[in-house]
Chains A and B, each alone.
Chain A
Amino acid sequence: MTADEIRAHIDPIRDRFAEERSLVLPALKFAQTEKGWLSGDDIAAVAEAVNLTTAYVESVASFYDRLYLRPTGTRVVSVCVTLSCMLRGSDELMAALCEAEGLGPHGGTAEDGAVTIQEAQCLGYCDRAPCVQVDAEETRGPLSPDDAASLLEELRAAPRPERLWR
Chain B
Amino acid sequence: MPIANVVYRHREAGAPLTDAGAYERAGGWAGLKRALAEMQPDEVLYAFHRSGLRGRGGAGFPMGRKASFIPKDSALPAYVVCNADESEPGTFKDREIMEMNPFQLLEGILLAGYAVGAARGYIYIRGEYEHQARVLDAALAQAREGGFLGRGILGSSFDFDITLYRGAGAYICGEETGLLESLEGKRGQPRLKPPFPAVAGLYGAPTLINNVETLTSLPPIVDRGPDWYASMGTEKSTGTKVFSISGHVLRPGNYEIVLHETTLRELVYDHAGGFRPGRDFKAAWVGGSSVNVVGPEALDTPLDYESLAAAGTSLGSAGCIVMDDSGSMVHATLRLAHFYRHESCGKCTPCREGTLWLERILRRIADGEGRMEDLDLIDQVAGRIGGRVLCALADTGILPVVSAIHRFRDEFVAAIEEGGAPRPEPMMEVAAHG
The answer to whether B88 has its CB under 8 Å from any CB of chain A is yes
Q: Note all chain A residues with C-beta closer than 8 A to B27.
A: none
Q: Note all chain B residues with C-beta closer than 8 A to A18.
A: 202-203, 205
Q: Cα distance A26–B88 when bound, in Å? A: 24
State whether B92 touches A64 (Cβ < 8 A). Answer: no
Interfacial residues of chain B within 122-176, with CB under 8 A of chain A in the complex: 126-131, 161, 163, 165-171
Q: Cα distance A128–B131 when bound, in Å? A: 16
The answer to whether A67 has its CB under 8 Å from any CB of chain B is yes
The answer to whether A92 has its CB under 8 Å from any CB of chain B is yes
Identify the closest chain B residue to A24 (Cβ). B185
Q: Note all chain B residues with C-beta closer than 8 A to A120.
A: 128
Q: Please report the number of residue pairs spanning A and B whose Cβ atoms sit closer than 8 angstroms.
A: 173
Stretch at the interface among B43-51, B301-309, B421-429: B421-429
The answer to whether A82 has its CB under 8 Å from any CB of chain B is yes
Q: Note all chain B residues with C-beta closer than 8 A to A133.
A: 128
Q: Note all chain A residues with C-beta closer than 8 A to B247.
A: 83-84, 87-88, 126, 129
Stretch at the interface among A97-105, A109-117, A134-142, A151-159: A134-142
State whether A26 touches B166 (Cβ < 8 A). Answer: yes
Number of interface residues of B (CB under 8 A): 62
The answer to whether A28 has its CB under 8 Å from any CB of chain B is yes
Interfacial residues of chain B within 41-94, with CB under 8 A of chain A in the complex: 86-92
The answer to whether A16 has its CB under 8 Å from any CB of chain B is yes
State whether B203 touches A92 (Cβ < 8 A). Answer: no
Q: Cα distance A20–B184 when bound, in Å? A: 9
State whether A124 touches B95 (Cβ < 8 A). Answer: yes
Checking A16, A83, A88, A129 against B332 with a beta-carbon cut-off of 8 angstroms, the contacting residue is A83
Q: Note all chain A residues with C-beta closer than 8 A to B86.
A: 124
Number of interface residues of A (CB under 8 A): 56
Identify the closest chain A residue to B188 (Cβ). A63
The answer to whether A22 has its CB under 8 Å from any CB of chain B is yes
State whether B166 touches A89 (Cβ < 8 A). Answer: no
Q: Note all chain B residues with C-beta closer than 8 A to A87.
A: 246-248, 321, 323, 332, 424, 426-427
The answer to whether B319 has its CB under 8 Å from any CB of chain A is yes
Interfacial residues of chain A within 66-97, with CB under 8 A of chain B in the complex: 66-67, 78, 81-84, 86-92
The answer to whether B314 has its CB under 8 Å from any CB of chain A is no
* Min CB–CB distance A11 → chain B (angstroms): 15
Q: Cα distance A133–B161 when bound, in Å? A: 31
Q: Cα distance A139–B92 when bound, in Å? A: 13
State whether B88 touches A122 (Cβ < 8 A). Answer: yes
Q: Note all chain A residues with C-beta closer than 8 A to B126.
A: 124
Stretch at the interface among B13-21, B335-343, B391-399: B335-343
Q: Note all chain A residues with C-beta closer than 8 A to B183.
A: 22
Checking A66, A121, A127, A137 against B92 with a beta-carbon cut-off of 8 angstroms, the contacting residue is A127
The answer to whether A21 has its CB under 8 Å from any CB of chain B is yes
Checking A81, A83, A127, A138 against B254 with a beta-carbon cut-off of 8 angstroms, the contacting residue is A127
State whether A136 touches B433 (Cβ < 8 A). Answer: no
Q: Note all chain A residues with C-beta closer than 8 A to B129.
A: 124
* Min CB–CB distance A129 → chain B (angstroms): 6
State whether A124 touches B428 (Cβ < 8 A). Answer: no
Q: Note all chain B residues with C-beta closer than 8 A to A37.
A: none
* Min CB–CB distance A27 → chain B (angstroms): 9
Q: Note all chain A residues with C-beta closer than 8 A to B187.
A: 59-60, 63
State whether A137 touches B131 (Cβ < 8 A). Answer: yes
Checking A21, A67, A83 against B185 with a beta-carbon cut-off of 8 angstroms, the contacting residue is A21
State whether B128 touches A66 (Cβ < 8 A). Answer: yes
Checking B185, B188, B321 against A126 with a beta-carbon cut-off of 8 angstroms, the contacting residue is B321
Q: Cα distance A74–B230 when bound, in Å? A: 52
State whether B332 touches A124 (Cβ < 8 A). Answer: no
State whether A126 touches B335 (Cβ < 8 A). Answer: no
State whether B131 touches A138 (Cβ < 8 A). Answer: yes
State whether B433 touches A128 (Cβ < 8 A). Answer: yes
Q: Note all chain A residues with C-beta closer than 8 A to B161.
A: 16
The answer to whether B192 has its CB under 8 Å from any CB of chain A is no
State whether A123 touches B128 (Cβ < 8 A). Answer: yes
The answer to whether B350 has its CB under 8 Å from any CB of chain A is no
Q: Note all chain B residues with C-beta closer than 8 A to A162.
A: none
State whether B168 touches A88 (Cβ < 8 A). Answer: no
Q: Cα distance A127–B91 when bound, in Å? A: 9
Known contacts A22-B183, A87-B248, A89-B426; is A126 also within 8 Å of B168 by CB? Answer: no
The answer to whether A144 has its CB under 8 Å from any CB of chain B is yes
Q: Cα distance A144–B431 when bound, in Å? A: 9
State whether A121 touches B342 (Cβ < 8 A). Answer: yes
* Min CB–CB distance B175 → chain A (angstroms): 14
Q: List 15 A-B contacts (CB under 8 A).
A: A20-B185, A21-B184, A26-B166, A52-B185, A82-B289, A83-B339, A84-B252, A88-B426, A89-B428, A127-B244, A128-B433, A142-B433, A145-B428, A165-B130, A166-B127
Which 8 residue pairs across A and B have the least CB separation, nearest first?
Answer: A66-B169, A65-B169, A126-B246, A21-B185, A89-B426, A64-B168, A89-B428, A136-B130
